[in-house]
Amino acid sequence: MRRLPAVLAGVCAAVVCAAATLMSVLMPAHPAAAATLTEVTNFGANPGNLRMHLYVPNNVQQRPAIVLAMHTCGGSGPGFYSSTEFASLADRYGFIVIYPSASKKMNCFDNWSEASKVRGGQTDPVSLMSMVTYVQQQYNGDPNRVFATGASSGAMMTNAMLALYPEVFKAGAAFMGVPFTCFPNEAAYNPGGNSAPCVGKSAQQWGDAVRNANPSYRGPWPRMQLWHGTADFVVAYSELEEEIKQWTNVHGLSQTPTRTDTPQPNWNRRQYADASGTVQVEAYSIQGAGHSLPSSGMAAVAIQFFGLTGSATPSPSPSPSASPSVSPSVTPSPSPSASPSIPQQGACVITYRPNSWPGGFTAEVTITNTGTAPVNGWTVTWTWPGNQQVTNAWNATVTQSGTQVTARNVSYNPAIPAGGTANFGFQGTYSGGNPTPTAFALNGTACTVA
């Protein structure tokens, strides 16, 4: 098996929704005053060495649903909190969101090791289950309403958690993932020029992989919602078909959908219902989208699929002076129209982490605002010391002219609070060597290179 390019991604600019009336149902009607994202330690067995952040809305239900929301490679729980809409939906519907942070292999969730493919294996899935159990015990979480979602690496782990613990998770929503047991070992998860390593198996083989994880379990199996962009060149669009094979087979369904439609422009949906008419699997093909999901409105569709969009009283509108309360480790998402501010001289640090293979590489860039004032709108510039060429990016808009590169914030991450960070990444090509840039500037001000 050839190896998968590093699965590093973020969330892109919003997909425009044509039906305003539909979005008024799916999305919060008012920007509710946010609760605080808090870190939880000592949450139980943690063989995966994960960190746990928790979002409990102010209007949390007495018996709240639990959503486990998992980030992309290179990301973090607080980053997924600030760049997705699950917390604002929790404000409206009263459920709790767990945001774990991975620690292995460029902060990817482990779904390649043998331990990750067996129930109770001493790696990330056990740590994630400890988080779910903690919330059930400490917040009276509803064991009949536990759900998993995630993007890229987090989507892969969504598939794994539903396969390993089907009696715990009632449904999942996987954005840009691969089937459970896709990777035979860690080496298959490394960069190497093949973004579609998990094709060619039959539906029966994929379904057996799930069933073999729990040989004595007879159902009911979790419902699954799957998302993928047709122009995804990091995790190939063809992986969506493999996921469909796996979960339709688990549910004993035909691979021929019972319904197809286009609920939004460029959103092609296939639904697979059982004999009672219940949709057990649904798959969204997002036309023209790259490795950039979930986009605006998609989290709301996932929450609706979970059945959480009518079970709580909407939280009241905040007063005009109210502002979200965010812990120091979390970057809030202010208005994208903020004008760029210039940091004080020497008040920024850039950390550049490349991951190279012959002819290609990915890089993760962290901007740390070490000044005393927030940065509102950021642009990072550098010059390549070699012949590197950026081919795609996430969490930033990256342009290149010759050896000069410019990375600008996107709509959801324009601010870096004092003492806070912002992250973006990109994929590129090179020949010869791949030396690291020696100098970076933030909004025209030179930064220290860590």
Reply yes or no on whether the pLDDT at 3 is more than 70. Answer: no
Q: At what angle do helices 238-250 and 203-213 cross, to 10 degrees?
A: 60
Query: Quick one: which of 436, 449, 146 has its CA closest to 307?
Result: 146
**pLDDT tier for residue 330 given thresholds of 50, 70 and 90:** very low
Q: How far apart are CA 153 and CA 76, in angstroms?
A: 11
Strands (E), 265-420: 267-273, 279-286, 348-357, 360-369, 375-376, 379-383, 389-394, 397-401, 404-408, 415-416
Between residues 313 and 381, the one the model is more confident about: 381
Rounded CA-CA distance 10/47 in Å is: 26
What stretch of H or E contains 40?
strand 37-40
* pLDDT value at 328 more than 50: no
More confident of the two residues 286 and 355: 286
d(CA 424, CA 408): 9
Count the residues in the chain: 450
Separation of alpha carbons 107 and 353, rounded Å: 12
Q: How confident is the model at residue 123 (pLDDT cuts 50, 70, 90)?
A: very high
Q: With cut-offs at 50, 70 and 90, classify the pLDDT of residue 302.
A: very high
- Which residue would you say has higher pLDDT here, 313 or 249? 249
Whether residue 195 lies in the annotated active site: no
Q: Using alpha carbons, list the distances in angstroms from residue 411 to 48, 86, 334.
A: 33, 17, 9
Is residue 93 within 8 A of residue 12, CB to CB? The reply is no
Average pLDDT over residues 391-401: 83
Q: Alpha helix (H) ranges present in 283-370?
A: 298-306
- Is 348-449 a domain of CATH 2.60.40.290? yes
pLDDT of residue 262: 95
pLDDT at position 395 is 79
Return the axis-axis angle of helices 298-306 and 86-93, rounded to nearest 10°.
50
- Which residues pair with residue 8 across a beta bridge? 73
In tens, the pLDDT along 163-193 reads: 999 999 999 999 999 999 999 888 887 543 4
- Residue 219: pLDDT band by 50, 70, 90 thresholds? confident
Burial tier of 55 (Cβ tally within 10 Å: 0-12, 13-18, 19+): buried
pTM of the full structure: 0.65
- Dist CA 394 CA 383 (whole Å): 19
**Does 448 score more than 50 pLDDT?**
yes
pLDDT score, position 342: 58
Alpha-carbon distance 171 to 144, whole Å?
10
Residue that the structure tokens 């950390």 belong to: 351
User: From CA 388, how far away is CA 365, in angstroms rounded?
Assistant: 16
Amino acid, res. 61: Q
Higher pLDDT residue, 276 or 410? 276
- How does strand 389-394 pair with strand 421-429? antiparallel
Confidence band of 418 (pLDDT split at 50, 70, 90): confident
Region of poorest pLDDT, from 86-95, 125-134, 412-421: 412-421
Angle between helices 153-164 and 203-213 in degrees, nearest 10: 60
Would residue 141 be called left, alpha or beta, if left means φ above 0 and alpha means ψ between -120 and 50 degrees? Answer: beta
Task: Tell me what pLDDT residue 344 has.
Answer: 57
Burial of residue 440, with CB atoms counted within 10 A of its CB: 0-12 exposed, 13-18 middle, 19 or more buried = buried
Residue (of 99, 100, 225, 221) closest to 174 by Cα position:
225
Cis peptide before 220 (omega within 30 of 0): yes
Query: Of these residues, 130, 152, 296, 315, which one is catalytic?
Result: 152
Alpha-carbon distance of 424 to 132, in angstroms, equals 29
What is the dotted CATH code of the domain comprising 20-306?
3.40.50.1820
Q: Treating both helix axes as pointing N-terminal to C-terminal, what angle do 124-138 and 153-164 enclose, rounded to 10 degrees?
A: 70
pLDDT at 190: 57
User: Which residues lie across from 201 on neighbouring strands?
Assistant: none
Place of tokens 């774990």: 100
d(C-alpha 297, C-alpha 26), whole Å: 8
What tokens were used for 411?
């709509």
How many CA atoms lie within 13 Å of 371's alpha carbon, on the beta-carbon side?
21
In the sheet with 397-401, reading across from the earlier edge strand, the strands are: 397-401, 404-408, 379-383, 440-442, 445-446
Span 9-36, pLDDT tens digits: 333 333 323 333 333 334 443 344 458 8
What is the Cα–Cα distance from 345 to 371, expressed in whole angstroms? 9
| Helix-then-strand count for the chain, H and E | 8, 22
Residue 263, CB-side half-sphere exposure with 13 Å CA sphere: 17
Please, which pLDDT band fits residue 345 given cuts at 50, 70 and 90?
low
Domain boundaries, the chain: 20-306, 348-449
Rounded Cα distance between 79 and 99, Å, is 9
